[in-house]
Structure 1
Amino acid sequence: MLNIHRFTGGALLASLSLMASAQTPPDGDQTSQLMRGQAYTGPAQPTPRGLDGKPDLTGFWRPLKEPGKPGGNLGKDEPNFILPFNEVGKRALIYTQNHTVDPEAQCILGGIPRHNGSGLPFEILHTPQRLATTYNYNTSRLVTIDPKLKHGKNLEPLYFGHPIAHWEGDTLVIETRGLKDSVKDRIWLDENGNPTSDQTVVIERWSRPDYHHLKLEMTVTDLEYYSRPFTFKRTWARADEGLGQKEYACNESNLSGELIGPGAGVIGPDGNRGFGYSEPLPDVPPGPEAYETKE
């Protein structure tokens, strides 16, 4: 059995283009640091605000590195970088690792919460009523900001689910329900192939404390596969002025998709997926009885 694993989060290069921005940076002394994933170290600049007086999250955002923390793993702040699986979740993990090819390697939408853990930059275009987030692979998410909206019943399962946003002070809170399920659909929770169920609820709390930084505190509740909710925190730095997303033809760049084996590959002790670890995946995956996830 031929297993070829590709680390899409690290191997695919970010696509950048010149793109006009409505915001003019207060200064450009630190932009080279931002493009290297380093935090802005100059004088703090005020948070830009929209017509509604709320922080404007518009910008092209690049992730900051966290020393000693794995990339793309939503369990980066958990003990041993492992998420709190319950017994059903452990079986679902076996399924994703042995039977599911990385969806993003097949140019399938990564969805939420996976995109929030990605190592790639993303762009936000923000108005008082809508938040548009654009990612690589020509993927985008649209969020309506309206405190009166509520989630209905029998939501159609989607990769990005059904997000609804409201403000709590200067924090934009997005609640997402109606996501796809890893054992029925081609979706992963994160780049390590951790599973997500159709019962998952994602609460994102976005804030922009100053001009140069964007922060996220995200709580994932999925009691189908995990024993408790868990939290993922992250900070991005605003990229150089004039840069933004451009067209990325994922299918044209995916030249060996038929050779990609299942799973995320071996996860090392540092919590990262990828090459360089000696333990191989089994040539013969366990039988169907190992993947029953509904009790």
Structure 2
Amino acid sequence: MKRALLCTAAICFLLGPSALAQTSADYTPPRTADGHPDFHGVWTNASLTKVERVPEFRDLVISADQARQWERDAAAIGAQDSAPTDPSKGAPEAGTDPEGYNFFWIDPGKSVGQVNGEYRSSWIVDPPSGRVPYTPAGRAAMMKPLATFNSYDNPEERIPIERCLIGFGSTGGPPMLNALYNNHHMIVQTPDAIAINVEMIHDTRIIRMNGEHKTTDLPRYLGSSVGRWEGDTLVVETTGFKPLESLRVDWGVLVYIPPDAKVTERFTLISDEQFLYQFMVEHPTAYTQPWKGELTFRRSPANIYEYACHEGNYSVPNILGGARAQEREGRTSTRTSPRGRLDRPAPTDIPPR
């Protein structure tokens, strides 16, 4: 199997069963006192499946055999990464990346995602390629924030996820996507507002019900969200994102969403244990067309605990301090880029799909 899929599989090993098939159309959801479907509780979207399709899969829907093999591949790499460290091995070779975690800390999911009873190779369903349809202008705009990966002059230049301002990837969204770990979301629902507390960095979205976007609204992290009910489906429209969060980066995820993009989400309870989450992202110049996706959230018995971000919150001072030390020595900073967690050979040779 090629490295792209191996990297995706390698980071997606633990937590939670695959989403089951949607229930019949006659399902009656529990309701709140005001008569709307009750989404209260903790939910998870942990999965091997990511927002975009990896090249190894051509189609949106994959077979059960392909799904099982993908899960076995992930389990094999996870087991390798869970092995005890050899204390006699010594320090890593100078100039290499020793990485910051072992597999004890990784919690992205161990099963291929299912929607409507089908195993999915991506959350994106349109366009059929399963990839974000960037225009040349959109792709160029995406490359600008990528430059911050090699800029070490000011803390403001570091992307928000390094500064622990918002969750990495797009966990808080919208759209709300799965990431390397911390994929739980707690929903608290009232007639006037719905709050979604995200495990990753404790982001909290406030959805104003039956409101409207105001031209005076300032851009904000996670955008400005207004919701309404269409029958038993919660529909949420969000715009007005902070420019700093345009680049959504996670291991295996790199998505650009402009500050003035519009994201429309649809939440539909399909059983007591699942809800269907559908989304559409629109922008007139960044994409050749609106792109759409869908995934299933599963109810979780877990609690959401404090997210402490990096230890002591001293990552940014260390990054900038290291750059100053290199400058004093007359050296330039090492160029880096977003990558999969395991840029290395797989433990076994796995044939391509």
Q: TM-score, normalised by structure 2?
A: 0.57
Q: Quick one: structure 1 residues 114 and 252, their matched pair in 2 at CA, closer, same or farther if it must change by over 3 Å?
A: farther
Matched, 1:116 2:179: no
CA RMSD in angstroms comes to: 3.7
1:214 to 275, 300, 304: 275
Aligned to 2:132: 83
Matched, 1:133 2:190: no
2:37 to 44, 48, 55: 55
Matched, 1:174 2:236: yes
Higher helix share: 2
State the shift of 1:67 in Å.
5.6
Structure 1 CA distance, aligned partners of 2:309 and 2:175? 16
Is the 1:37–1:62 contact (alpha carbons within 8 Å) kept by the matching residues of 2?
Answer: no
Structure 2 CA distance, aligned partners of 1:106 and 1:12? 24
Identity of aligned residues (%): 22
Aligned to 2:141: 92
Is the 1:96–1:195 contact (alpha carbons within 8 Å) kept by the matching residues of 2?
Answer: no
State the shift of 1:277 in Å.
6.0
2:141 partner SS: helix
Unaligned stretches of 5+ in structure 1? 1-6, 15-34, 266-272, 279-295
1:194 to 255, 267, 277: 255
Structure 2 CA distance, aligned partners of 1:202 and 1:154? 19
State the shift of 1:128 in Å.
2.2
Structure 1 CA distance, aligned partners of 2:240 and 2:204? 17
Q: Quick one: structure 1 residues 275 and 11, their matched pair in 2 at CA, closer, same or farther if it must change by over 3 Å?
A: closer
Structure 1 CA distance, aligned partners of 2:123 and 2:144? 19
Matched, 1:105 2:162: yes
Which structure's relative contact order is higher, taking Cα pairs within 8 Å and 6+ residues apart?
Answer: 1
Structure 1 CA distance, aligned partners of 2:245 and 2:137? 18
> For residues 17-74 of structure 1, what are the alpha-carbon distances to aligned partners after superposition, in whole Å with 9 as ceiling and x for unaligned?
xxxxxxxxxxxxxxxxxx5233358x99852210111111111111153668568998
Equivalent position amino acid for 2:202 in 1: N
Is the 1:102–1:193 contact (alpha carbons within 8 Å) kept by the matching residues of 2?
Answer: no
Equivalent position amino acid for 2:191 in 1: P
Matched, 1:252 2:311: yes
Structure 1 CA distance, aligned partners of 2:249 and 2:269? 24
Structure 1 CA distance, aligned partners of 2:299 and 2:13? 18
Hey, which bits of structure 1, 4+ residues long, moved more than 6 A?
A: 10-14, 70-75
State the shift of 1:145 in Å.
1.3
Q: TM-score, normalised by structure 1?
A: 0.67
Is the 2:263–2:280 contact (alpha carbons within 8 Å) kept by the matching residues of 1?
Answer: yes
Q: Quick one: structure 1 residues 97 and 82, their matched pair in 2 at CA, closer, same or farther if it must change by over 3 Å?
A: farther
Aligned to 1:29: none
State the shift of 1:96 in Å.
3.0
Is the 1:57–1:208 contact (alpha carbons within 8 Å) kept by the matching residues of 2?
Answer: yes
Matched, 1:264 2:327: no
Q: Quick one: structure 1 residues 127 and 74, their matched pair in 2 at CA, closer, same or farther if it must change by over 3 Å?
A: farther
Is the 2:124–2:291 contact (alpha carbons within 8 Å) kept by the matching residues of 1?
Answer: no
Matched, 1:274 2:341: yes
Q: Quick one: structure 1 residues 90 and 74, their matched pair in 2 at CA, closer, same or farther if it must change by over 3 Å?
A: farther
Structure 2 CA distance, aligned partners of 1:250 and 1:153? 34
Unaligned stretches of 5+ in structure 2? 1-6, 55-107, 110-120, 150-157, 320-333, 346-353
State the shift of 1:200 in Å.
0.4
Equivalent position amino acid for 1:109 in 2: I
